[in-house]
Structure 1
Amino acid sequence: MRYFIITGAARGLGKALVQELSSKETSFVLIDKRELSSSKEIAQAQGSEVFNIRFDLAAVEDIPELSERIFSQIDIRKASSLTLINNAAEVLPLGLVGTHKNEDLIYEVSTDITQYFLLTNEFTKKTQDLALEKRILNISSGAATTTIKGAATYCAAKAAIEMFTRTMGKEQAKKEFPILVAATTPGVIDTDMQVDLRTPPKEVFPPRNQFAALKKMGLLQSPQRTAQKIAKIFEWDKFPNAKVLKYRKDL
């Protein structure tokens, strides 16, 4: 049985990945602060086992408890592989540095950085000594290497995730039972996050017109097409440890 733990699985890319990865040989633990029933129905229709956890990942102090709930749904004796897909992210609040409420920034940093690190840490504690295939795929963004005025926290978070991925991958390389870790930039996808980027006034988010133009010109990828390409990573002969995969170049 292939086990996939997917965060941010209620909509967008996360939901599309559920559809692409579903099969009779696949079991999911899906995590989101939003309702997950639609994603569950999609997976079950293709024969997958599904366990949903409604959880706001910004509640980082409760990540250890979340980890216990996740692994209570995984039968290690039946597992052929264990995969964590860190997909959940938050682009709000948008605005120039110095204009935010501190509590809003804390929420964004908790969602975009801290929970990634803590959930990965818990996954590693639980699985390091297991002699089976273990993988982590972190969903990054072109924002990791591109300055976007009005989204400094989001850009910094994605850059942090990419360095975390490379460093952990090298740490794992010589382990007896390594956990293979990679990240991917999925391209510009037609999701609710893109709506958030087109909505604020220009004085709050200076590049809003650029993002509006992408939508108007039909240059946004569908979540399903993007998920199809990302799902193929798990079919490769060798999972790309300590690598950051670029959507157009590597997938």
Structure 2
Amino acid sequence: MKLAIITGASKGLGASIAKKMIKEGTAIISVSRTENPELIELAAENQVFYGHYFCNLASPEEVESVFREVTALLREKQPEALYVFNNAGVIDPIGTAGNLDHKALIQNVHVNLIAPFMISNMLLNEASRDMTIVNITSGAAERPIQGWSAYCSTKAGMNMFTETAALEQQTAGSSHKIIAYSPGVMDTDMQSIIRSSAKEDFHDLEKFQTYKEKGMLRDTDTVANALIDLLLKKEIESGKVYYVNDLI
């Protein structure tokens, strides 16, 4: 049995990844604050295992507790291959440095950076099977965007973690692989939050509003399908950042 763990699987890209993996016959563990009934039905139709764990990824205590349960389940299931998608992410706070809400800033760092670090750390320590970790990153990791200092910084940190952890696994002679995936601009709830920002908080507001008006946002199924085809049909390079524009 192949098994995939997906954070933020209840909607957006995470849900699309889950749907694609289920159709490929892969068992699913969903980790998020809400559950998607469509995934339950789809898993039943395709006769694959589906489990959901409710978790607030902004809480390190909850992350540790939930993933202790997940690792116990992995020991029981003993999948032949394991895929881990650190997908969940938040864009807030949007605003210029000096005007950021500290509570939102701390939550951003916890969800976008600390939770993926902890999840990867726990699973790398536990997993004896072949494992592929996919960290969902962003083009914002590689260039400054006014109003997105928190998001840009956490995604840049995600990229460096990906490269460093992959190097460590290679040095140790491990078969585990770790990559990052930059999905581009998609039609998601996050984009709605971005478009509703105040101009004084987000310098590029009109550009992102134009993306929606001109139909320039990719649907999440297209982006997910490109990623899963990469994982299942091609030889991936551990430590590499893959870009959706290079795959479609």
TM-score above 0.5, yes or no: yes
Residue 48 of structure 1 and its aligned partner are, at CA, apart by 1.8
1:82: how far off? 1.0
Distance 1:213 1:81 in 2: 41
Check if 1:32 corresponds to 2:29.
no
Pairing 1:123–2:120 present: no
Paired amino acid for 1:110: H
Indicate if the aligned counterparts of 2:56 and 2:62 stay in contact, CA closer than 8 A: no
Instruction: Count how many residue pairs are aligned between Structure 1 and Structure 2.
Output: 248
Aligned residue type for 1:234: L
- Contact 1:13 1:226 (C-alpha < 8 Å) held by counterparts: yes
Q: Which amino acid aligns with 1:159?
A: A
Q: C-alpha offsets along residues 155-201 of structure 1, whole Å, 9 cap, x if unaligned?
A: 11111101110111111113343310000101110000000110022
CA RMSD of the aligned region, Å?
Answer: 1.6
**Other structure's SS at 1:4 match:** strand
SS class of match (1:143): helix
Please name the residue that 1:96 is paired with: 96
Any idea what SS the aligned residue of 2:73 has?
Answer: coil
* Aligned positions of 1:1-251 closer than 5 A: 1-23=1-23, 25-75=25-75, 78-127=78-127, 130=128, 132-250=129-247
Say whether the 8 Å CA contact 2:63–2:115 is kept in structure 1.
yes
Q: Quick one: structure 1 residues 95 and 19, their matched pair in 2 at CA, closer, same or farther if it must change by over 3 Å?
A: same
Q: CA deviation at 1:107?
A: 0.9
Q: Please, which runs of 5 or more residues in structure 1 have no aligned partner? A: none
Question: Partner of 2:121: helix, strand, or coil?
Answer: helix
TM-score by length of 1: 0.93
Question: Given residue 72 of structure 1, which amino acid in structure 2 is its aligned partner?
Answer: A
Percent identity reads 27
Residue identity in the other structure for 1:81? A
**What is the TM-score of this pair, normalised by structure 2?**
0.94
Matched position secondary structure for 1:147: coil
- Quote the Cα distance in structure 1 between the aligned partners of 2:41 and 2:59: 27
> Can you list the C-alpha shifts for 1:199-237, whole angstroms capped at 9, x where unaligned?
022112221111000000110000011111011122134
Secondary structure, in 3 states, of the residue corresponding to 2:50?
strand
For structure 1, which segment, 89-98 or 170-179, has the greater mean C-alpha deviation from structure 2 after superposition?
170-179
**CA offsets 1:76-113 (integer angstroms, 9 cap, x no match):** 56411011110000001211111122111111111111
* Distance in 1, Cα, partners of 2:156 & 2:101: 23
| Structure 2 CA distance for aligned equivalents of residues 174 and 244 of structure 1 | 19
